[in-house]
Amino acid sequence: MNREELGGFLRSRRSRIQPTEVGLAPGPRRQTPGLRREEVALLAGISVDYYIRLEQGRGPHPSDQVLTALGRTLRLTADEHDYLLRLADHSPARVGPAREVPANVRRLLDRLTDVPAMVVNACYDVLAWNSMLVALIGDLSERPPRERNTLRWLFGDQATPADKLQLARKCVADLRATGRYPGDADIRALVDDLKERSPHFAELWAARDIEVQRTLTKHMTHPIAGPIELDCDFLPIAGADQRLVIYTAAPGTPSHEALQRLRETYA
């Protein structure tokens, strides 16, 4: 059980809940934002001492019932509740991020000739891609394996571009939601490196936002196709702990026409 991270996560979620949201009076002289520890314990039906020890990283192993009560009290989302369970070892432990892409998935990539697509693991390493992704962002085979990582691209500079702030928040929340940090050496190394290189990443990581990414929107300007807005869908690959990422645009839109031009140009 990751007691330190469990305590930090509980503190961060407690601080965002206002007393009035859970039927409590605001009360005078609140020195910290959000609920008091005593209030969380009362609402969750556990002792104050027990909850304090959980936040301080020295508590006992919480039961399913306690975690469920805390999740309800702190108004956790489904993704956040899953993360809480993993922190308390209530989900099976996973091995490190897999790098071998199944043959059937590679065949699927080759058949996706109209849209850019790639396979990423839990570290956001790009493991495989199709020809349309090459047309969109360039040939990844020309980059060292370490640099085939979408988070390193996103936080490569000291300052994150303004048009990518929301995307950056979502990606960091997704990385945190895997529940692998700090137990997985690869993800721990990635996080430590990005925290050192990017103050913005360090700030987002410290916020402990949790949100599994399923669909998001990306904006970019291609040197040939011009401005493009793409829907990015993350599709889990069964049994591989990887995701197939597909970029699409609605038919009839300028972005869809831009993808068609890319296909014709780089075919």
Pair (80, 109) in one structural domain: no
Global pTM reads: 0.77
Note whether residue 213 is domain-resident.
Answer: yes
* Structure confidence at residue 200 (pLDDT): 94
Pair (107, 75) in one structural domain: no
Last residue of some domain: 59, 87, 115?
87
Domain span at 155: 103-266
Pair (147, 218) in one structural domain: yes
Q: Which of 263, 264, 227, 238 is nearest to 117 (CA)?
A: 263
Cα separation, 94 vs 30, in Å, equals 41
* Structure confidence at residue 111 (pLDDT): 95
Pair (43, 137) in one structural domain: no
Q: Which long-range contacts (C-beta less than 8 Å, at least 24 apart) are formed by 233-238?
A: 237/102, 237/105, 237/119
Q: Say which residues have a Cβ less than 8 Å from residue 194's Cβ, sequence separation at least 6.
A: 151, 152, 155, 201, 202, 205
Pair (137, 239) in one structural domain: yes
Note whether residue 95 is domain-resident.
Answer: no
Pair (259, 142) in one structural domain: yes
H-state helical runs in 92-154:
103-111, 131-137, 150-154
Determine whether 142 is exposed, middle or buried from the number of CB atoms within 10 Å of its CB (0-12, 13-18, 19+): exposed
* Structure confidence at residue 97 (pLDDT): 66
- CATH number of the domain enclosing 27: 1.10.260.40
Instruction: Domain count for the chain, please give it.
Output: 2
Pair (141, 187) in one structural domain: yes
Last residue of some domain: 87, 112, 138?
87
Pair (192, 145) in one structural domain: yes
Are the C-beta atoms of residues 228 and 258 closer than 8 Å to each other?
yes
Q: Give me the sign of the Cα torsion angle 125, 153, 244, 101.
A: negative
Last residue of some domain: 25, 58, 87?
87
Pair (155, 255) in one structural domain: yes
Note whether residue 126 is domain-resident.
Answer: yes
Note whether residue 135 is domain-resident.
Answer: yes
Q: Output the 3-class SS for 151-203.
A: HHHHCCCCCCCHHHHHHHHHHHHHHHHCCCCCCCHHHHHHHHHHHHHCHHHHH
Note whether residue 25 is domain-resident.
Answer: yes
Phi, psi values for residue 262, rounded to 5°: -65, -45
Note whether residue 189 is domain-resident.
Answer: yes
Note whether residue 251 is domain-resident.
Answer: yes
- CATH number of the domain enclosing 172: 3.30.450.180
Note whether residue 260 is domain-resident.
Answer: yes
Cα separation, 117 vs 108, in Å, equals 10
Pair (135, 49) in one structural domain: no
Pair (246, 123) in one structural domain: yes
* Structure confidence at residue 153 (pLDDT): 92
10 Å Cβ neighbour count for 265?
10
Pair (154, 112) in one structural domain: yes
Placement of tokens 């936040």 in the chain: 55
* Structure confidence at residue 121 (pLDDT): 93
Per-residue pLDDT of the chain (267 residues; tens, 9 = 90+): 888 999 999 999 989 888 888 777 776 676 677 888 998 999 999 999 999 999 898 878 888 889 999 999 999 998 898 899 988 888 655 556 667 898 999 999 999 999 999 999 999 999 999 999 999 999 999 999 889 999 999 998 767 777 788 999 999 999 999 888 887 888 999 999 999 999 999 999 999 999 999 999 999 999 988 899 999 999 998 877 899 999 999 999 999 999 999 998 886
